[in-house]
C-alpha cells in the first residue's frame, strides 16, 4: 500500500505537524499485526537492539512497573530508556532517557529518518512511534530499555522487538473488540510477549491457563507469583519479597498510590532477580527506586482551595474496582466525579463499583473520535446511580463545573481516560508544561 504523500514534505516542521501526519499514514488507527513494523525495524537494524530490553505488558499496572524499574536501574547506574503510552499532556512523555523526555527537535529528526526508511510501507501512529523510541534509545546508547505494550501483546508493535525478559502484570477484561471476550482469550494475547528460554514474570496471582500453557509450550522461564516469587505486607507500609534465591525484608512502601502497587512492585523485583546476571543491581537501588519512583495520575492526590482532588486513569472494570476500594477505605466526604471514557469500554462495569461513593457525576468527552458521547454515559449512569449526573462539553468545562459545585472539605475524583485526567490536571495548573522537551500541543492518541 502506497503512502499518501512523499516522505520529505518541507512543510512538516514541528512535532505537531508530524503527529498529525502520522495519523494519516495507515487506514486503520489500530491494526494488530507485526509484518509492517518488522520490515521497517529490519531496515533500520533495530529488531535486535544493542541494549537490553524488558517488555512490560498486562491489563493494569504496566506504567507503574515501568516507573519502578526505571528508577531502580537508574539508581544502579544504568542509562535507562523508557517507552510508555498514552501521554497525559504531551507526546514527548512517551519517550525518555534517564528521566528526560525526548525533545521536539530530536523527535522530528527521528520521524524524518523513519519516514524515509519505510519507503511505501504504511505504519500506524503507534507503530511509527514505537520505532522512533527504539531508534532514539540506540542513538542515546542506553544500557536497558523498558518497553510498555500498547494493546494486548502478541500483535502489538512492541512485540516486534526482541526482548530479554517480559512481565505480564495482570489479566482482566479490557479491549475485548481486539483481544477477545474471555479472560482466557486475553491471557493468550498477553502471553505473546514471552520468549523461549527467557524469563517471563507473571504478576497476576491467578493467571488464565492459556497464559501458562503458552509459556510452557514455548519453553519460557516462567516466574509465577505464588510459586516462584511472592510478597507479604507488614506494618507501617513495609513489605517483604521472596523469590527463587532472593529474600528481601523491610522493603519500603511503593511511592505510587494504592495497595495494588505492592503486587506491581513484587513483579518488578522478580524481574530484577531474573535479570540479575544480565543487569546486576545494587540492593540499595531497590529501596530507593520504590521510594522515589514517580508516575502521574495513579491515585494522585492534591488539595486546591480547600477541596481534595484525586486523579486516577482508571478506565476499565478492574481499575475502577481498585479505585472503589480506595474510596471505601477513605473518609466519607461529599464526592463529585469527573469522568470520560472511550466508547469501546465496558462502561456499566466501570461505573458500577463506584456508584456508592459518588454524590454527583459530571460526564465529559475526550478530544478523540473513539470517545463515548457524554449523553450516552449519563443514560447508563441513570440506570445504576441515583446521584445527579450532568454533562460538560470538555474536560476543562467539567473542571470548572466541579469547582463551582464543590464545597470546602469535599472531594473531586477525576478518572477514566488519560485524555480526561490530563486536561483536568492542566486546567488546575497542576501541570505547568515546563520540560526539557519544549512546548508541544500534540493531538491526543491513546487508551
Is residue 166 pLDDT above 80, yes or no? Answer: yes
Is residue 280 located within the same domain as residue 324?
Answer: no
Q: Higher confidence at residue 180 or residue 178? A: 180
**273 found inside a domain:** yes
Q: Rounded mean pLDDT of 188-197? A: 97
**211 found inside a domain:** yes
Is residue 275 pLDDT above 90, yes or no? Answer: yes
Give the pLDDT confidence of 368-395 residue by residue, as tens digits: 888 999 999 999 999 999 999 999 999 9
Cα dist. 395→212, 298, 367, 389 in Å? 41, 18, 9, 15
Domains of the chain: total: 2
**437 found inside a domain:** no
Q: Rounded mean pLDDT of 34-51? A: 97
Domain boundary among 292, 323, 358: 292
Is residue 208 located within the same domain as residue 63?
Answer: yes
Is residue 277 located within the same domain as residue 153?
Answer: yes
Is residue 303 located within the same domain as residue 261?
Answer: no
Which helix (H) or strand (E) covers residue 318, if one does? Answer: helix 317-329
Give the pLDDT confidence of 223-241 residue by residue, as tens digits: 999 999 999 999 889 999 9
Is residue 175 located within the same domain as residue 322?
Answer: no
Is residue 286 located within the same domain as residue 171?
Answer: yes
Is residue 115 located within the same domain as residue 249?
Answer: yes
Q: How confident is residue 12, by pLDDT bands cut at 50, 70 and 90?
A: low
Whole-angstrom Cα distance, residue 437 to residue 104? 6
User: What value, to the nearest 5°, has the Cα angle with vertex 2 and ends 123 and 15?
Assistant: 45
Domain boundary among 292, 320, 345: 292
Structural domain span for residue 376: 298-427
Is residue 19 located within the same domain as residue 159?
Answer: yes
Identify the pLDDT of residue 5: 42
Is residue 297 pLDDT above 60, yes or no? Answer: yes
Identify the pLDDT of residue 432: 56
pLDDT over 90 for what percent of the chain? 85
Is residue 55 pLDDT above 50, yes or no? Answer: yes
Is residue 276 located within the same domain as residue 422?
Answer: no
Question: Quick one: cell of 435?
Answer: 520540560
User: Domain containing 237 — which CATH number?
Assistant: 3.40.1190.10
**361 found inside a domain:** yes
The string of DSSP letters for 373-436 reads PHHHHHHHHHHH--S-EEE-SSHHHHHHHHHHHPPTT-EEEEEE-HHHHHHHHHHTTS-----T
Is residue 34 located within the same domain as residue 150?
Answer: yes
Does residue 91 contact residue 19 with C-beta atoms inside 8 Å? yes
**127 found inside a domain:** yes
Give the pLDDT confidence of 321-349 residue by residue, as tens digits: 999 999 999 999 999 999 999 998 899 99
**433 found inside a domain:** no
**277 found inside a domain:** yes
Is residue 366 located within the same domain as residue 243?
Answer: no
Is residue 324 located within the same domain as residue 242?
Answer: no
User: Domain containing 388 — which CATH number?
Assistant: 3.90.190.20
Question: Quick one: cell of 341?
Answer: 471514557
Amino acid at each position: 500500500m502506497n503512502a499518501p504523500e512523499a516522505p520529505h514534505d518541507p512543510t512538516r516542521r514541528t512535532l505537531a505537524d508530524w503527529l498529525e501526519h502520522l495519523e494519516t499514514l495507515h487506514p486503520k488507527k489500530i491494526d494488530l499485526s507485526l509484518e509492517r513494523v518488522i520490515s521497517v525495524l529490519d531496515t533500520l537494524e533495530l529488531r535486535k537492539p544493542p541494549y537490553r530490553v524488558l517488555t512490560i505488558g498486562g491489563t493494569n499496572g504496566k506504567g507503574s512497573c515501568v516507573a519502578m524499574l526505571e528508577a531502580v536501574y537508574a539508581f544502579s547506574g544504568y542509562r535507562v530508556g523508557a517507552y510508555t503510552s498514552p501521554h497525559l499532556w504531551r507526546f514527548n512523555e512517551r519517550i525518555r532517557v534517564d528521566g528526560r523526555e525526548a525533545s521536539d527537535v530530536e523527535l522530528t529528526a527521528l520521524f524524518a529518518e523513519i519516514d524515509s526508511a519505510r519507503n511505501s510501507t504504511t505504519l500506524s501512529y503507534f507503530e511509527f512511534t514505537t520505532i522512533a523510541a527504539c531508534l532514539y534509545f540506540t542513538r542515546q546508547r542506553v544500557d536497558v530499555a523498558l518497553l510498555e505494550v500498547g494493546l494486548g501483546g502478541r500483535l502489538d508493535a512492541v512485540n516486534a522487538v526482541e526482548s530479554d525478559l517480559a512481565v505480564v502484570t495482570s489479566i482482566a477484561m479490557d479491549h475485548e473488540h481486539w483481544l477477545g471476550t474471555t479472560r482466557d482469550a486475553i491471557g493468550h494475547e498477553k502471553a505473546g510477549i514471552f520468549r523461549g528460554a527467557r524469563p517471563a514474570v507473571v504478576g497476576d496471582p491467578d493467571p488464565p491457563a492459556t497464559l501458562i500453557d503458552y509459556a510452557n509450550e514455548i519453553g519460557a522461564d516462567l516466574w509465577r507469583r505464588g510459586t516462584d516469587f511472592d510478597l507479604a505486607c507488614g506494618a507501617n507500609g513495609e513489605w517483604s519479597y521472596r523469590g527463587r534465591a532472593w529474600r528481601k525484608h523491610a522493603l519500603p512502601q511503593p511511592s505510587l498510590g494504592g495497595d495494588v502497587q505492592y503486587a506491581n512492585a513484587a513483579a518488578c523485583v522478580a524481574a530484577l532477580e531474573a535479570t540479575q546476571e544480565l543487569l546486576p543491581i545494587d540492593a540499595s537501588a531497590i529501596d530507593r527506586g520504590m521510594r522515589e519512583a514517580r508516575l502521574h495520575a495513579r491515585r494522585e492526590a492534591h488539595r486546591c482551595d480547600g477541596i481534595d482532588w484525586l486523579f486516577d486513569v482508571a478506565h476499565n472494570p478492574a481499575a475502577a474496582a481498585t479505585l472503589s476500594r480506595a474510596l471505601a477505605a477513605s473518609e466519607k466526604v461529599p464526592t463529585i466525579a469527573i469522568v470520560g471514557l472511550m466508547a469501546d469500554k465496558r462502561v456499566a462495569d466501570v461505573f458500577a463499583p463506584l456508584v456508592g461513593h459518588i454524590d454527583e457525576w459530571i460526564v465529559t468527552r475526550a478530544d478523540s473520535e473513539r470517545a463515548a458521547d457524554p449523553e450516552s454515559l449519563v443514560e447508563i449512569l441513570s440506570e445504576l446511580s441515583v446521584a445527579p449526573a450532568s454533562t460538560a462539553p470538555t474536560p476543562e468545562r467539567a473542571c470548572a463545573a466541579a469547582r463551582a459545585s464543590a464545597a470546602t472539605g469535599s472531594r473531586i475524583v477525576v478518572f477514566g481516560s488519560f485524555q480526561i485526567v490530563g486536561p483536568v490536571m492542566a486546567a488546575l495548573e497542576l501541570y505547568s508544561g515546563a520540560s526539557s522537551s519544549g512546548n508541544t500541543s500534540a493531538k491526543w492518541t491513546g487508551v
